[in-house]
Amino acid sequence: MELAYRKATEEDIDFLFDLRMQTMTEHYVSSHLPTDEESTIKRILYRFENAHLIIVENQPIGLLKLSINEKDIEILQLQIHPALQGKGIGKSILKGILSKAASSQKTVRLSVLKTNQAKRLYLSLGFKIISEDQYSFHMEFNH
């Protein structure tokens, strides 16, 4: 499956809203976090300038939101449409990010809700939990 990326625009907000509701609602509910439309839109628009749609066969299938600076790469959001989860897409994207980080000597950081099973994927790729708060584990990958 060949992946492409394109910068997210305002026209993508409906897709991103639906994607977020499908991929994150159960985690927010189990973490007792708000799932109303206003809260969801705020999360979508957070650092929107870093948002890229993941495209397969000219169709958006997910979201990758990265922040890159001279020291590290922060994965702000990685969401794959539920119909395509479990097919190695997220793992492939993460491996690409880790490879890029290794070649530029950067640390990769992310946070994952404690209720989100994606934590297992991150641990399997070598991420370590460095801290936690009430809702999330904060993880790092160092080369």
In a 13 Å sphere around the CA of 8, the CA atoms on its Cβ side amount to 26
Q: What is the band of 26 on the pLDDT scale with cuts at 50, 70, 90?
A: confident
Please write the tens of the pLDDT for every residue from 67-81.
999 999 999 999 999
| Structure confidence at residue 80 (pLDDT) | 97
Burial of 135 (0-12, 13-18, 19+ CB in 10 A): middle
Torsion of CA 102, 94, 57, 5, to 10 degrees: -60
Please write the tens of the pLDDT for every residue from 100-109.
999 999 999 9
What residue segments make up the domains of the chain, in order of their start?
A: 4-141
The average pLDDT across 51-60 equals 97
* Alpha carbon distance 15, 54 (integer Å): 12
Closest alpha carbon to 100 in 62, 73, 138, 140: 73
Closest alpha carbon to 19 in 77, 56, 63, 57: 63
Task: Look at domain 4-141 and name its CATH class.
Answer: alpha beta
Cα Dmax for the chain: 41
* Alpha carbon distance 73, 97 (integer Å): 8
Q: Are the C-beta atoms of residues 51 and 7 closer than 8 Å to each other?
A: yes
